[in-house]
Amino acid sequence: MQRPVVIGLILLIVGNLFSAFYDVSIKWLPDDANASTFLLVRQISSVFMLLPVWLYSQRPMTTHISVHLWRANIGSVGALFLIIGLMALPLATVSSLFYSAPLMIILMGYFFLRERITAAQTICTGLGFVGILIILRPSEMNWYGIAVLFSAFTFAVNQLALKKVPNAEHPVLTLMLYNLLGIPATLVIAAFQGIEGLSWELVGVALLSNAFLLVYHWFCVLAYRKAQASDIAIAEYTGLLFIVFLGWLLFDEWLDNLSWLGAALIVLPSLCLPWLGSLLSKSTPKVADTLTGK
């Protein structure tokens, strides 16, 4: 496996740990919290948190404002739907649904970015999809589950859109614009729903979750700039392990035997991807030799 791919995988796995912390923090929101109000507070606070870093980095600018505007607005809607799902569903259910995003990343990377998909990646994504279905179980599907699936789709679109941003652009600018340009859309949604549940407790949770999310996005920016999306997207699945562990540790949530099978189908193929790719690459010439009689 090439060095940039290895680095990208490591960065994405570490980033998913902080993504799990973000999911956990949503569970600490007050009972009267409003999803759009929380998202608005989180976005505004993130801009102020990133502002000193942006100034320290000599105020980097962008020439791709349209890409950032697209990502910010799509991301705002997706983030809102994910928060709604996290507030209503168990962590493991939300996580298993959200990890359909790597499947979407690989497929959209193939169709829209012309990225190559290997046989090993096809097998791993197929097994991961089966694992998601096992954990989800169609009988448990509801509007909250659909909201999380839509959030996963917006996440996949945003990750692929990073390919349109030059590698030379500073990551802090990407993160700052992602939050800053999304504020107007979130403000409209919050005004429509009504800004309710605003409290110091909500602000505290917003600051904490915002720190986790900013670190996660930072690692994502670095990871997807290191390697093509289809090579490293499978590592997104490893975050499911972090979610299951934290759900058990903090909320006494645990997976049953069937769900563990689903989790294994999601995580293990991604961990075995390098070995599987090497095995398939070695077997292909042998098959070709047999067919040609050489």
pLDDT value of residue 274: 58
Between residues 127 and 102, which one has the greater pLDDT? 127
* Conformation bin of residue 169: beta by default, left when phi > 0, alpha when psi is -120 to 50: beta
Burial class (CB in 10 A: 0-12, 13-18, 19+), 161: middle
Burial class (CB in 10 A: 0-12, 13-18, 19+), 119: middle
Mean pLDDT value across the chain: 81
Q: How many Cβ atoms are within 10 Å of 32's Cβ, its own excluded?
A: 11
**pTM higher than 0.85:** no
Joined together, the tokens standing for residue 186 give: 């979130």
CA distances (Å), origin 129, targets 27, 31, 106, 126, 240: 26, 33, 12, 5, 13
In the predicted model, is pLDDT for residue 133 greater than 50? yes
CB of 219 within 8 A of CB of 17? no
pLDDT tens digit string along 167-205? 788 888 988 999 999 999 999 988 888 788 888 999 999
pLDDT value of residue 182: 94
pLDDT tens digit string along 200-231? 999 999 999 989 988 888 888 788 877 777 67
CB of 125 within 8 A of CB of 103? yes
Burial class (CB in 10 A: 0-12, 13-18, 19+), 133: middle
Between residues 230 and 130, which one has the greater pLDDT? 130
Question: Which residues, other chains included, contact 239 with Cβ-Cβ below 8 Å and sequence gap of 6+?
Answer: 13, 16, 17, 19, 20, 95, 99
- Interior CA angle at 212 toward 232 and 28, to 5°? 125
pLDDT value of residue 141: 60
In the predicted model, is pLDDT for residue 96 greater than 60? yes
Question: Which residues, other chains included, contact 67 with Cβ-Cβ below 8 Å and sequence gap of 6+?
Answer: 161, 164, 165
In the predicted model, is pLDDT for residue 283 greater than 60? no
Q: What is the CA radius of gyration of the chain?
A: 20
Q: How many Cβ atoms are within 10 Å of 3's Cβ, its own excluded?
A: 9
pLDDT tens digit string along 73-86? 999 999 999 999 98
pLDDT value of residue 294: 39
